[in-house]
Structure formats: C-alpha cells, structure tokens
Amino acid sequence: MPLEQILVLVDFSESSDVAVQRAAGIAQANGAAVHLLHAYGPRGVVSEAAFAEHGQIANARLADSVEALTAGGIVASAIAHPGSPMDAFDAVEDATAPQLVVVGARGTSRLRTMLLGSVAQAVIDHAFAPVLVVRGASTKRLYQRALLASDFSGDAAAAASVVRTVADSNATIHLAHIDAIPYEAVASLGSSAIDQLRADSQRQLDAEAASLDAVAHRGSGDPAREIVKLGRELECDLIGMGYRGEGARGWLDSGSATNAVLRHTDSSVLVARRVQLHEPVDEHLDAVREETYQAQLGDNEQISLIETLREVKRLADASRELERELLHEATEELGAVASQIEREHPSLAASLSLLVRTLSRMGI
C-alpha cells in the first residue's frame, strides 16, 4: 500500500520532536502528507480561561511546526483537539485515514527509555494503521538497519511491507524467527514431530528472507528476549513486528512478546496488523439489519438498503483481495442513507453511522 498520509501525535516533549523529525524524513521519501495532532484538556480540570489559553498556545506551536515542515517541501496540517488523547486520535484517524501513525516513546533517562508511554501503548492497541514508536536522536534519516521479527503470521507480513517504506533503499534488513515451542507441545508431539516443525520453520524463514532480500536469523528461547538481544547485537535502529500472531507458532502479541520488545529495546519499533474486516463489520451489519427491519421503511427503501448491506458484506468477506474503490463507494452510499433517514429513524441512522465509521477507519 502506498504511504500517502502520516499522522503524528504531538505533546511538545523532546520525544515528540524526535517523532516529528522521523515522520518528516519518511514523508519526504514517500511523497506523503503529515498531519500533526495535539490533544489538550479535558474541560473542568482547569478554568475555562486556562483551557482556552492552552488551546491558543498549542495552535501557535503547531503552526510553527507546520511552517517548518512546509519549508521542507512537505504537505502538512495540524489539529489541536480538545479532550483526551485517545478521543482526539479516534476523531483524527477517521478524518485522515493514515497509512502510518508516528508517536514518541517518551522518556529521557535510561530508565524511562525502557518504559513505553501510556498513550503510545493505547495507540498501538487501538489503531488500524501501523504504528511507529520512535526512539533515538532527532534525525530525518530513514532507518539504516532493520530487524523484522517474524512468526509467519499475517500481522508479521504486514510489518515487513511497511518497514520497506520507512527504511532506506540501501538499508540492511535482518529477518528473525525464534522457535518458541511450548513444553506441553514438546511432551505431546514427540521429538520427530518437533524436528519436522523446526525444519518447516527453517524452510519458511529461508523463503521469506529471499523474498525480502534479508539476512535470515533463527533462534530459540523467549521470543522477546531474543529479539531485543539480536537487535542490539546487530545495532539495528528499527525493529518491525506484527501486533498479534496466529496459530501454534504465533508468539507475537501485544500482551506478551510484542509488548515486551516495545518496553525493553532501545530501537524504534514498528507494529503492524493485517486489518481484519470480518468481526467489526459483521457486528455492525447485524445491528443495522435489526434496525432496518424494525424501522418503518418503504419496501423500495428497505430492499435498496439490504442490497447495499449485502454488497458491503461481500466485499468485507473478500477483504484480503479487497476492491477498495468499490468498498469506498458502498461506504459513501451508506453514509448518504444514514443522513437521509436521520430524523425519522435516528436509531437506524446511528447504527449505519457506526458501520460507516468502522469501514472508514480501515484505511479506505
């Protein structure tokens, strides 16, 4: 997927400034636009006067940052959004549909560098787009040495494709797979079956490394510990990994290996996921169907809406071979229907709007 829109979370800290600089370099290399987001508030914690002053100061500082980016030939915009960081992120992610979200890791001391900021972690857990957590010195250089952690899952493959857009064209790419076979599996499968699993992993690793023009590394043990250790030994400035693994070998997930790597590495980390349309779309489609049959729509209106929903469902089920333009058209049609029936059928309109928002957040 081409990198056209980059969203950067800004809190005016040193870590945030480093994230903006990294995003600027990536944007210049890819011809992408940069959107800066600063959240302030909530109301009620400070006086209305202080709240308004915060907004004015934030807008002024953001304007300076946009001017600097524009001077470098980058299309840039900025938003100071009242409310919590995640409320602001939801609203702006919907509006900008970024292909990459960039956030600073926070922390200036050696101890704090190992502690991932709560906002960064929340964004990783929440975003549909890949998230780049930036560490290191301020620079616009693209990454020079990247380590891709792979468990052969769809999310790991998604991370590999994004790493290529943020790494230099001459960057050295390392691909690592860590055998992490649970003790229970060793006991139940037997040595011959385990040997076969390892041989299959080696073949898959070699094939993936060849396709990525990467140097293959295979290890065993605790995945997070081995990935962090290998990243330091190879002096990598970027580690790319999937958000969640799949199947018996899927050891990358935000609750364990991925989260541990994020907290303990000194490198920047890119976390990506293969967008799964099925669950959220199915959930919202069911709600819309129920509201549709309950609403007193005319026969033609109901048939038209149900047919549109069926088309969205078909496209969602074919998400891996997604025709984005067709889905975009269907989403626009749903949005128009929601607007038309908002007054007479607010419950149905709300369900439709939630479905449209879900589709829009998936990078359409």
What are 280-330's pLDDT values in tens digits?
555 666 666 666 656 655 555 555 666 666 666 665 555 444 455 556 666
Find, among 285, 295, 303, the residue nearest to 351 by Cα: 285
Backbone angles phi, psi at 97, to 5 degrees: 45, 60
Transcribe 43-107 into DSSP letters.
TTSS-HHHHHHHHHHHHHHHHHHHHHHHHTT--EEEEEEES-HHHHHHHHHHHH--SEEEEE---
Q: Are 156 and 261 found together in one domain?
A: yes
Q: Are 339 and 295 found together in one domain?
A: yes
The CATH number covering residue 102 comes to 3.40.50.620
Residues 332-364 have pLDDT tens digits of 776 677 676 666 666 666 666 666 666 655 544
Residues 11-67 have pLDDT tens digits of 898 999 999 999 999 999 999 999 999 988 765 556 778 778 888 999 999 999 999
- Which pLDDT value is given to residue 84? 80
Supply the mean pLDDT for the chain: 78
- Which pLDDT value is given to residue 92? 84
**Structural domain harbouring 193:** 143-272
Strand 143-149 with 100-104, pairing: unpaired
Residues 120-176 have pLDDT tens digits of 888 887 787 899 999 988 899 999 999 999 988 878 888 998 999 999 999 999 999
The DSSP 8-state label assigned to residue 176 in this structure reads E
Q: Are 76 and 50 found together in one domain?
A: yes
Question: Bridge partners of 106?
Answer: none
- Which pLDDT value is given to residue 290? 64
Q: How many domains does the chain have?
A: 3
Q: Are 213 and 121 found together in one domain?
A: no
Boundary of a domain, candidates 134, 158, 181: 134
Q: Are 152 and 183 found together in one domain?
A: yes
Q: Are 25 and 80 found together in one domain?
A: yes
- Which pLDDT value is given to residue 97? 83
Q: Are 93 and 156 found together in one domain?
A: no
Q: Are 18 and 120 found together in one domain?
A: yes
Q: Are 129 and 174 found together in one domain?
A: no
- Which pLDDT value is given to residue 320? 42
Q: Are 78 and 160 found together in one domain?
A: no
Boundary of a domain, candidates 134, 167, 183: 134
- Which pLDDT value is given to residue 311? 62
